[in-house]
Structure 1
Amino acid sequence: MQLSSNRKLALLMHDAVLGTSGKMGFGLLRYSDAQVTCVIDQVTAGQDLAALTGICRPTPVPIVATITEALALGADTLVPAIAPAGGILPGDWRQEVIQGLRGGMSLVNGLHERMTEATDFREALTPDAFIWDVRQEPPELPNGLGRAQELSARRVLTVGTDMAIGKMTTSLELHRAAQRKNIPSAFVATGQIGICISGAGIALDAVRVDFASGGVEWAVLEAAKSLPPAPRPAGEILWVEGQGSLLHPASTAWLPLIRGSMPTQLILCHRAGQESVMRAAWVKIPPLRAVAALYEAVCAGAGALPGARVVGIALNCAHLTDDQARAACAQTEAQTGLPTQDVVRFGGDKLLEAVLCDKMPS
């Protein structure tokens, strides 16, 4: 399933436009082909969304306070557009969702809670509408056996120093950069936001652990089928969306991603100036070169596996000015010796070139 261009989305984002949990909404605003009719946020209602977020859509998106206003604007699809810890719908949002369903809206749910199983939501759903629970395990997944290494395409995995620092965004921006250069390229979504944007992939955190690496492997092999062959040295590229962080005490997704995608190159994602893991502040982030070496060591498996190099750093500078971002990228590049760029602000060409210049593992 995919959010097609004729869908008119209302993004439910109370207290998230200026908060830290709006990743789902920001991803859809930046990359979805669907129309975004409005954002619903009682805190910032009436303000300029582009000025608040830096995200500019072809048509300006108003911020409203209520479901009633969203329905009046013609919204036909409601998205609880947050990614909170635990993935559960806030209790005080429930009546708003029911109001939207009774008004004829469909519901796209990227949270862990199964809304298709909720009696109150099913009873409110109108005949022509649907509920889509994005986080579902595909049927009949295989166990992982490293089959992705048999592909000729580059498999570039984004890895990170923390959660929610731009791994999906980096993958999408580099995918776009490759497309602009007519390089056969595909984005492999591994989370609910990427699936809503691309219409394919796997919600890794909904997959049983025994099938997690096999699920990533399946998604990578499926994406590869869409790629036409390309001459070397450019070849084809699969951009695999990273999840979590090897440094985070709660993160388990990074290992099945590494084993399932069998990456040929890595891009390390980091938030400029961040010194510790956000939800576990006692975990201090080591120097980026050390983090890169750790990811490379895990990929190589002490020589048992092909391995992959970190070829560049995607620096999230959303909290900085343009001049500050340029300085942060230059400083990080000098400290690590790795090409560094804020791909949202300055484009992905620099990191794309680093990928293309890196020799494929034998």
Structure 2
Amino acid sequence: MLSASDRVVLLQHDGLKSLTGKTGLAMLRHRPGPIVAVVDPSQAGGSLRAITGIEREVPVVGSLEEALPFGPEVAVIGLAPSGGRLPDPLRRDALVALQRGLNLASGLHTRLADDGELRAACWDDRWIWDLRREPEQLQVAQARASALLCHRLLTVGTDMAVGKMSACLELLKAARARSLPCQFVGTGQAGILIEGGGVALDAVRVDYAAGAVEAAVIEAAECLPAHGLVLVEGQGSLCHPGSSATLPLLRGAQPTALLLVHRADQSTIERLPAIPLPPLSELVALTEGLARLARPADAPSPRVCAVALNTARLDATAARSAVEALSQDLALPCTDPVRWGGAPLLEAVLQSEAN
């Protein structure tokens, strides 16, 4: 429901300098459409660049009322608060946004359209978009995406929140720069809000998860020629004990190539340090083995064609060294696409498809 041209105001209360604001921060980094203001009372009047390091000029204001002169059309909840419940200051600004005739978009598990006060405040010709809803008319996956002629890349990560979405979006940017027909399938709230479509995988019942991915990939591929590319945002990790997302993505997308995403110098699950990560070479082999299953006999087996390395915690010199070392260790192309662009990874994907 969110179009690329919609003028967005981010409701980012106390989230510009916190991981709870990761949805809004991702939109600030990657959304190509206009973001006219950010509401964060704790940072009001500050420079977005100085606060976040994001190279984008957007005013930071203290309330929704202060954002109105910038002409927003859609208020987007940029937080992912614990438990999915809106903090009172943010809820008040969401209510004001609806009362003033704005649309409202949210990726929270809590459905704002089910809130009587918010629903009553929404104008008749406006909308509340709770994107974390299970799609209608779900089917069990049947490997139908394997019949698509276009290329399909799935990002797979060594952990949660290592940059799978960012890697996809940098590849999308690189594809657009070279006029390669390309579509992005978002599978989490930030990716869907940034590009305007996809499937919220964690809102789908497990038996239908692969089918929901399958349907989204097929829909994305409808407008693509045979040499086009569908980029499927990965979720979770095979290495994480709390994640079950990778298998339905593999089954539903039927990828023709895989991109491994890893954080430099990480050796354990970030929030569960007692759980070690396997050697990356072993993880590559395991992922490729799983990807070979549940495919038609004549469908080629996807390979990990490159590595996107998240070097955000390293300086430039250390980042270069980490990229070179990992590339040599795995004998695969490697770069940090956020730091240096996605063109080398896109080239690796296209080369793998040509072989």
Distance 1:184 1:127 in 2: 37
Aligned partner letter, 2:144: R
Distance 1:42 1:287 in 2: 44
Q: Per-residue deviation at 1:84?
A: 4.1
The secondary structure found in structure 1 opposite 2:244 is coil
Distance 1:69 1:115 in 2: 23
Q: Equivalent residue for 1:52? A: 51
**Percent of counterpart pairs with the same letter?**
45
Q: Per-residue deviation at 1:217?
A: 0.6
Structure 2 unaligned segments of length 5 or more: list them. Answer: none
Q: Per-residue deviation at 1:143?
A: 1.1
Task: Report if the CA contact (8 A) 1:67-1:100 is conserved.
Answer: yes
The secondary structure found in structure 1 opposite 2:202 is helix
Residue 313, structure 1, aligned to residue 312, structure 2: no
The secondary structure found in structure 1 opposite 2:274 is strand
Distance 1:285 1:45 in 2: 40
Task: Report if the CA contact (8 A) 1:15-1:43 is conserved.
Answer: yes
Structure 1 unaligned segments of length 5 or more: list them. Answer: 230-234
Task: Report if the CA contact (8 A) 1:190-1:243 is conserved.
Answer: yes
Q: Equivalent residue for 1:22? A: 21
Task: Report if the CA contact (8 A) 2:163-2:310 is conserved.
Answer: yes
Q: Equivalent residue for 2:338? A: 344
Distance 2:33 2:333 in 1: 34
Deviations 1:250-273 (A, max 9, x none): 212111100001111111111122
Residue 159, structure 1, aligned to residue 156, structure 2: yes
Q: Per-residue deviation at 1:346?
A: 0.7
Task: Report if the CA contact (8 A) 1:3-1:33 is conserved.
Answer: no
Aligned partner letter, 2:259: I
Distance 1:255 1:124 in 2: 41
Given the two structures, how large is their TM-score scaled by the length of structure 2? 0.92
Residue 270, structure 1, aligned to residue 247, structure 2: no
Q: Equivalent residue for 2:286? A: 294
Q: Equivalent residue for 2:11? A: 12
Aligned partner letter, 1:48: S
Q: Equivalent residue for 2:75? A: 78
Q: Per-residue deviation at 1:14?
A: 2.3
Distance 1:243 1:126 in 2: 35
Q: Per-residue deviation at 1:303?
A: 9.0
Q: 1:171 to 1:344 in 2, by over 3 A?
A: same
1:181 to 164, 170, 178: 178
Q: Equivalent residue for 1:61? A: 58
Aligned partner letter, 2:31: S
Residue 354, structure 1, aligned to residue 353, structure 2: no
Which has the higher mean CA deviation after the structures are superposed, 27-36 or 115-124? Answer: 27-36
Q: Equivalent residue for 1:204? A: 201
Deviations 1:130-160 (A, max 9, x none): 2111112221122101111111222110010
Deviations 1:239-260 (A, max 9, x none): 1111111111221211110000
Distance 1:88 1:281 in 2: 28
Q: Equivalent residue for 1:232? A: none
Count of residue correspondences: 353
Residue 2, structure 1, aligned to residue 2, structure 2: yes
Given the two structures, how large is their TM-score scaled by the length of structure 1? 0.90
Which has the higher mean CA deviation after the structures are superposed, 205-214 or 291-300? Answer: 291-300
Q: Per-residue deviation at 1:319?
A: 2.7
Distance 2:158 2:182 in 1: 26
Distance 2:23 2:352 in 1: 32
Distance 1:85 1:340 in 2: 34
Q: 1:16 to 1:320 in 2, by over 3 A?
A: farther
Distance 1:83 1:255 in 2: 25
Q: Equivalent residue for 1:237? A: 229
Which has the higher mean CA deviation after the structures are superposed, 123-132 or 297-306? Answer: 297-306
